């Protein structure tokens, strides 16, 4: 049986983009905030809680092609770099059963 991993790949790409955009965002926020440490901390807090955490949750809730449950999350918790589905043990990007 072939599994469609296109949704997984889209969400993984978005997550990686957001994860690696942290350094440029950090540099940009530093240039905006200048010497104001409280503004710097506030803007980092906003970036993490408005951009990073929702993107991580969205990636973690990617439906498994076999069992249709979230690949990485069970009861709201999980490991986003697990090599297999936490529910049915399907290996990530496996093409055949």
Q: What is the pLDDT of residue 97?
A: 52
Spans of all domains in the chain: 6-78
Strand segments, DSSP code E, in the chain are 73-74, 77-78
CA–CA distances in Å: residue 36 to residues 46, 50, 51, 84: 16, 21, 22, 44
Q: What is the value of pTM for the model shown?
A: 0.80
Tell me what percent of the chain is helix, strand and coil, each rounded to the nearest 5. Answer: 55, 10, 40
Three-class SS of residue 49?
Answer: helix
- Give tens-digit pLDDT for 4-57: 788 889 999 999 999 999 899 888 888 888 788 888 888 889 989 999 999 999
- Give tens-digit pLDDT for 53-69: 999 999 988 898 888 88
């Amino acid at each position: 049986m072939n599994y469609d991993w296109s949704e997984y790949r889209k969400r993984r790409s978005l997550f990686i983009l957001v994860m690696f955009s942290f350094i440029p965002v950090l540099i940009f926020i530093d240039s905006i905030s200048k010497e104001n440490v409280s503004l710097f901390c506030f803007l980092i807090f906003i970036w993490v809680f408005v951009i990073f955490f929702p993107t991580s949750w969205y990636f973690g809730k990617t439906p498994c092609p076999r069992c249709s449950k979230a690949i990485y999350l069970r009861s709201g918790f999980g490991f986003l770099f697990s090599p297999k589905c936490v529910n049915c043990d399907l290996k990530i990007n496996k093409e055949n059963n």
